[in-house]
Amino acid sequence: MQTFPLFLNLQNRRALVVGGGDAAARKVELLLSAGAQVSLIAATVGGEIAQLIGEARISWAGRSFDEAELEGASLVIVATEDEALQARVSQAAQRRCLPVNVVDRPALSSFIMPAIVDRAPITIAISSGGTAPALARRIRAEIERSLPAALGRLARFAEIFREQVRRTLVVPRARRRFWDRVFESRIGELALAGDEIGARRELIRLLDGVRHETPQTGMVHLVGAGPGDPDLLTLKAHRLLQRADVVVYDRLVSAEVLAMARRDAERVYVGKRRAHHCVPQDEINDRLVALARAGKSVVRLKGGDPFVFGRGGEEVEALVEAGVAVEVVPGITAALGCAATAGIPLTHRDHAQACIFVTGHLKDGSVDLDWQTLARPRQTVVIYMGVNALSMISGQLVAHGLPFSTPVALIENGTTDRERRVVGTLANIERQANKAGLNGPTLCVVGEVVGLALSRDREIRFESRMGL
C-alpha cells in the first residue's frame, strides 16, 4: 500500500475548507454528509457555496487565511487555485499534525480524498494514491453497479442483533460463521427487501439452532494457488480464502495470492525448498489434522495445482486416515500458466503431439527419469524443480537422442511481475541459467514449441521480459 486507508469520524467536529469555487463546494458537500461542522475561508464565494452559506449550513469568514483558523479544526481541505496559498495552508496544517488535503496536489497533502461508494452505514473508499483519480472514479462506478442500493439496510438490521449474538456465541469464530450464514441465506434477502419482521423471525430461529449445535470437526481444503498471479485463482479458491480460519502455505505461494486471504485468518508457514524442508511433510500432515480437529476451517494453499507435484495426494491420505473431511480445489498448474504467459504452446499440430510433465528431483533428492521416453521427438517436456539438475537433464536428453540444438526455456516466478525468462538450447542452457542467476521457483520447457514461440511475432515481447 502506498497510503494507509482510514475512516475518520467527523460527527460534530470542525472541518476547515479554504476556497470558494466549485471544487470547494464538492468537498463541503462530502464533509456535511459525514456530519462535520464546516468553516469556510474564502475572499469571495458564489454558486452552491453561497447557497450553503445562505442556508446557514456552513460558517464563512470572508477574509484571507490566517493560521489561527486552524485552532480546533480536525481536518483541512484546500480547494483554491492559488499555489502560494496552497503551500502556506499545507505547511501550517502539517506543522500542527492536522490532516490536510490540497485538491489535485498530492505532494502537498497528508491524505488523499478517495472516490466514495456510499451505502450508509456501508462506505467503500477507492484511492489511486493521487496518481489517477479518473481511474478511481471508474472503479467506483463499477462497484456501485454491483451493489444493491439498499445494502445499508442489511447492515442496520445486523446491528440490531449484534450484541445478542455476541452474548450467545462467545467464540469469535462461531460468531463469524453465524453472520456468514445470515448474509448468505434468506435472512439477508428478506432484510434487503425491507421485510424486517420476517428477517428477525428467521434470524432468531437460526441463532437458537446454532446455540444447540454440537461443535463439529473442521475441514481442510487443499486449494491450488496457481503459478503466482492472483487473477488466476479460481472463484472457489478465492471464496474459501475469504472464509478460512487458518491458511497453511509454503514458498511457492506468491505474496499476492496470500494477500487474498481474510485479513484476520491465522497464517501458518510450512515453507520447503530443495534439500531444505522447513517443516517435514509428516509434521505438516499432523498439523492439518490438529487444526481441523480444533474445529477450524483450514485452507492448505499449494502453488499451482495440489495434485501436480504438490504432494497433495500424501496430505489427502493422511487426512482421510485421520477421519478429517477434505476437499481438493484444483488450480492452474505452473506448466499451463507459465507457458501461456511466455507464448509457448505446449502442443502444436506440426511440432508436438504430446506433452509430458516430470519433476526434476525425487523424494530423496535424486534425478531418475525415463530418459528414453523424454527424448522422443515431436513432444514437449515440462520439468518442475529441475533448474539445479540442468547439467544432468541436458546431458541425458542429448545422450538419448535429442539434438543439441533443441530449444529450452526457463521461466522463473512465472505469471508474476517478477517473472524472468532465459532461453537457449540443450547445449548452452546451463550456462545461460548460471549467467542469469535464477533463484526463484523455475519451470523448464524443452521442445521445438519453444523455438516456435520465439520465431513468431511474440519474439520481441518474449525477449524483452528476459532481462538478458
Residue with cell 489511486: 128
Report the pLDDT averaged over residues 320-341.
Answer: 95
328 and 339 share a domain?
no
Looking at residue 383, what is its pLDDT?
95
Model confidence over 351-363: pLDDT tens digits? 999 999 998 765 5
In Å, how far from its chain's centre is CA 366?
A: 36
Q: Do the Cβ atoms of 269 and 287 come closer than 8 Å?
A: no
Residue 335 grid coordinates: 506448466
State the alpha helices, DSSP H only, in 147-212. 151-168, 172-184, 186-192, 196-211
Helix 47-54 × helix 22-33 angle, to 10°: 40
Residue 133 has pLDDT above 90, yes or no: no
327 and 341 share a domain?
no
Q: Does a structural domain hold residue 140?
A: no
Model confidence over 172-228: pLDDT tens digits? 888 988 999 999 899 999 999 999 999 999 999 999 998 877 767 789 999 999 999
Sign of CA pseudo-dihedral 341, 347, 350, 351: positive
Q: Does a structural domain hold residue 281?
A: yes
Looking at residue 46, what is its pLDDT?
80
Instruction: Single out the catalytic residue among 27, 229, 245, 250.
Output: 250
Cα angle value 423/379/430 (rounded, 5°): 30
Cβ contacts of 144 within 8 Å, gap of 6 or more: 117
Instruction: Single out the catalytic residue among 82, 118, 272, 286.
Output: 272
53 and 170 share a domain?
no
341 and 448 share a domain?
yes
User: How many domains does the chain divide into?
Assistant: 4
Cα angle value 371/428/411 (rounded, 5°): 75
Q: Do the Cβ atoms of 152 and 120 come closer than 8 Å?
A: yes
Report the pLDDT averaged over residues 417-424.
Answer: 92
265 and 367 share a domain?
no
Q: Do the Cβ atoms of 35 and 10 come closer than 8 Å?
A: yes
* Rounded CA separation 365/53 (Å): 77
Model confidence over 455-466: pLDDT tens digits? 654 433 434 344
Q: Which residue among 332, 367, 393 closes a domain? A: 332
Residue 249 grid coordinates: 502455505
305 and 355 share a domain?
no
Looking at residue 467, what is its pLDDT?
39
Side-chain-side CA neighbours of 170 within 13 Å: the count stands at 0
381 and 445 share a domain?
yes
Q: Does a structural domain hold residue 2?
A: no
Sign of CA pseudo-dihedral 269, 273, 276, 282: positive
* Rounded CA separation 225/258 (Å): 9
Residue 381 has pLDDT above 90, yes or no: yes
Q: Does a structural domain hold residue 254?
A: yes
Q: Does a structural domain hold residue 103?
A: yes
Find the CATH number of the domain harbouring 55. 3.40.50.720
Cβ contacts of 200 within 8 Å, gap of 6 or more: 160
Domain extent for 358: 335-464
Sign of CA pseudo-dihedral 283, 285, 286, 287: positive
94 and 49 share a domain?
yes
Report the pLDDT averaged over residues 63-87.
Answer: 92
23 class by beta-carbon count within 10 Å (0-12 exposed, 13-18 middle, 19+ buried)? middle
Looking at residue 466, what is its pLDDT?
42
**Confidence label for 59 from pLDDT (cuts 50, 70 and 90):** very high
**Confidence label for 277 from pLDDT (cuts 50, 70 and 90):** low
Assess whether 104 carries a catalytic annotation. no
Residue with cell 463439529: 216
Q: What integer best gives the mean pLDDT of the chain?
A: 90
Looking at residue 388, what is its pLDDT?
87
Q: Does a structural domain hold residue 134?
A: no
Partner residues linked to 409 by β-bridges:
423, 445
Better-scored residue on pLDDT, 217 or 280: 280
Report the pLDDT averaged over residues 287-299.
Answer: 94
Please tell me which of 65-69, 113-117, 299-303 the model is most confident about, judged by mean pLDDT: 299-303
362 and 438 share a domain?
yes
Residue 118 grid coordinates: 456510499
459 and 340 share a domain?
yes
Assess whether 208 carries a catalytic annotation. no
Question: Is the preceding omega at residue 306 within 30 degrees of 0, hence cis?
Answer: no
